[in-house]
Amino acid sequence: DELLHIHTYVRKVPGVRIEFEYEIFNDSNLKLTEAKTTLFFLEAATSKIVKCPPFLMELIKQKWID
């Protein structure tokens, strides 16, 4: 087994979707790979796509680094 370090970034302010970018490093700080996932926000009751919830947007703004 190998210890991995995963750095996760949100580079764009989310609208109806949020994109996460990842950099994965080994314990020697060698970058092994990069990845990206895109998620959409859905209203549970209607299964319709909606904008990022205000509580999450506020958390993202608090941690945002330019």
Per DSSP, the residues of 2-59 read: --EEEEEE--S--SSEEEEEEEEEETT--EEEEEEEEEE-EETTTTEE-PPPHHHHHH
What pLDDT tens digit does each residue of the chain (66 aa) get? Answer: 899 999 999 989 999 999 999 999 999 999 999 999 999 999 999 999 999 999 999 998 888 766
What is the C-alpha separation between 41 and 2, in angstroms, rounded?
34
Structure tokens at 50: 């909606």
Q: What is the pTM of this model?
A: 0.80
